[in-house]
Amino acid sequence: MTSANSWYEAGARQRVAAMLDPGSFAEFIGPEQREISPHLAIFDLPEQFDDGIIVGHGTLEGRRILVAAQEGRFMGGAFGEVHGAKLTGLLRAARSLGEPVLILFDTGGVRLQEANAGELAIAEIMRALVEARMAGVQVLGLIGGRAGCYGGGSLIAGCCSALIVSEQGRISVSGPEVIETNKGVEEFDSRDRALVWRTMGGKHRYLIGGADAFADDDVLAFREAALIVLAGNGRLDADVLEAEQQRLEHRLHRFGEAHDAIDIWTDIGVSEPTEIPGLATDEFLRRITDKREKANGAR
Amino acid sequence: MELADILASLFPGGHEVAVMDNLISGSGIINAIKVHVIGIAGQSPLGCEGALILAGHVLEITRKGSAAPILVLIDSSSQRMSRRDELLGLSECLAHLAKTLLLAGAQGHRTIGLLYGGSAAGAFIATALATGTLVALPGAHPAVMDLPSMARVTKLPIEVLKAKAEKTPVFAPGLENLAQTGAIHAVWNPDQSLAEQFLALLAEQTGGDARDRLGEGRGGRPKAASIAQRVEKEASHA
């Protein structure tokens, strides 16, 4: 199922290397500076010298770009104090430099061992992101990693100018286990993987306009998609938010009674909707042409 | 403090603030200054519909073109945890609400959050933490996650978590802990006029996001401000 260049299987550094022009990446506050979390030791947990995120700059087809990549294999890619502050600083720089940003999400959300600092970091990132976009800067989110894009990470994604997802790219505020723990297995059976994928996965998000581009689970496919999306405009203003308000109200009105993703896909007019989860990318895209809901920049 | 008492102390001359399905909206006048009010009451969760209703209010306010302050009153639980909300894209709805508040702030409206009860997780981020200045009343009880749930996720006994919570404010629930990280600008005095405290806050100058420096000064977040600043500097010189 996964190729040698699988985005899902790759680590953060591999993704960045494959995304940018060869040899163009330079990291800010790299691991050699050993800026570790000041809080994990309280829990007797091992630190990592980059605190689970890489930020820096490079070029994409010769164009200068800023990039952040989360490492989903360290603490589930969760946002702690240092991890979050690196992304905040990058987005503040993007605003003053006027340079586009790629955020390679791979996160379970806030790191609970430093929950207050992580939660506030999410808020600071969202503010810096929105201020960059109001200055005309594009901020793209790329989602297809092991940890998905959950919790506060999904709210940051919701502030991006565009999102690129693969089938593996799950986006959700409450994770399956959290819903099950709080509301019971009748509400959400977290062990039902098929339910998780069709409720939160990349195909569903792409079908309802929650994402703007759909990529194969392949680092080069993500790169190609990013190049296409970067040709657009990412400015955030009052008109964009008015349009997003209408888009989301329309979605609740149209699909609000749906019980399952299959109901929504049926309503959209996709033929044989139950086959959607099993389709390869080409066939999936062919099957949904002119059917899916599009954001058209209203985000 | 109860919502009715808060509104009475904020608007001694009366107000037109209503609560419907635990969503707050309306306006009042303090010293000839019109103040728009939105919010969540009754410790209720914030789902897709609620987020869009509140965002609609904010957009309606910004559409009018004035620079009137927007007060966001918060006594919520977390985001509504349900299969349906996630199916419909709750992350987009909550982010949309946060964006409307951030846009209002950028367009010249002072956005002031007043946390008077509970709040947690996605609901907290989309409302209180998306305002330009967040204040609280004593007794407010924000939490990212309650300690019993945290014990389940971190696989640590709750006694161990409680002991650790005494050593560091960085993870444990509660107003004081969150204030130390810089999230809460000030805690108001419920025995004094809230209208006067609101006017004093309006008179304070605001600039960019100073929460990281506030957290550094209070000792709750020793590294965030300097790390963000160093990344910004390295990026500018690269």
CATH number at residue A70: 3.90.226.10
Residue segments in chain A with a per-residue pLDDT below the cut of 50: 1-2
Helix axes B90-106, A238-255, angle to 10 degrees: 160
Q: Does any CB of chain A come closer than 8 Å to the CB of residue B158? A: no
Assigned domain for B8 exists:
yes
Assigned domain for A273 exists:
no
Phi-psi category of residue A30: left, alpha or beta, with phi > 0 → left and psi -120 to 50 → alpha: beta
Residue indicated by tokens 């709210």: A155
Assigned domain for B226 exists:
no
Q: Does any CB of chain B come closer than 8 Å to the CB of residue A100? A: no
Assigned domain for A292 exists:
no
Assigned domain for A63 exists:
yes
Contact B88 A39 (CB under 8 A): no
pLDDT at A1: 45
Residue segments in chain B with a per-residue pLDDT below the cut of 50: none
Residue indicated by tokens 């950028």: B106
Partners of residue B34 on adjacent β-strands: B29
CATH code: domain of residue B102: 3.90.226.10
Q: Which of B50, B127, B58, B54 is nearest to B90 (CA)?
A: B50
A81, A241, B57 from B235: Cα distances, Å: 20, 30, 38
Q: How far apart are the first and last CA of chain B?
A: 51
The Cα–Cα gap between A73 and A34 comes to 18
A4/chain B closest Cα distance in angstroms? 32
Q: Can you give the length of chain A in residues? A: 299
Q: Which residues contact A290 (CB under 8 A, 6 or more apart)?
A: none
Assigned domain for A261 exists:
no
Query: Which of A89, A115, A238 lies closest to B230 in CB terms?
Result: A89
Residue indicated by tokens 């994409």: A60
Give me the amino acid identity at B3: L
Q: Containing H/E element for B41? A: strand B33-46
Domain that holds residue A139: 12-166+215-236
Question: Could you tell me if the ipTM is greater than 0.90?
Answer: yes
* pTM of the predicted model as reported, rounded to 2 decimal places: 0.98
Partners of residue A102 on adjacent β-strands: A67, A140
Nearest residue in chain B measured CA to CA from A242: B59
Helix axes A261-268, A193-200, angle to 10 degrees: 40
Q: Does any CB of chain B come closer than 8 Å to the CB of residue A197? A: no
Assigned domain for A251 exists:
no
Query: Which of B52, B154, B229 lies closest to A249 in CB terms?
Result: B52
Assigned domain for A243 exists:
no
Question: How many structural domains is chain A composed of?
Answer: 1
Assigned domain for A159 exists:
yes
Interface of B with A in 117-156 (CB under 8 A): 121-122, 124-126, 129-130, 144-145, 149-150, 152-154, 156
Q: Which residues contact B19 (CB under 8 A, 6 or more apart)?
A: B3, B41, B42
**Chain A partners of B176 at a C-beta cutoff of 8 Å?**
none
Assigned domain for B150 exists:
no
Assigned domain for A258 exists:
no
pLDDT at B69: 98
Domain that holds residue B47: 3-137+188-207
Question: How many structural domains is chain B composed of?
Answer: 1
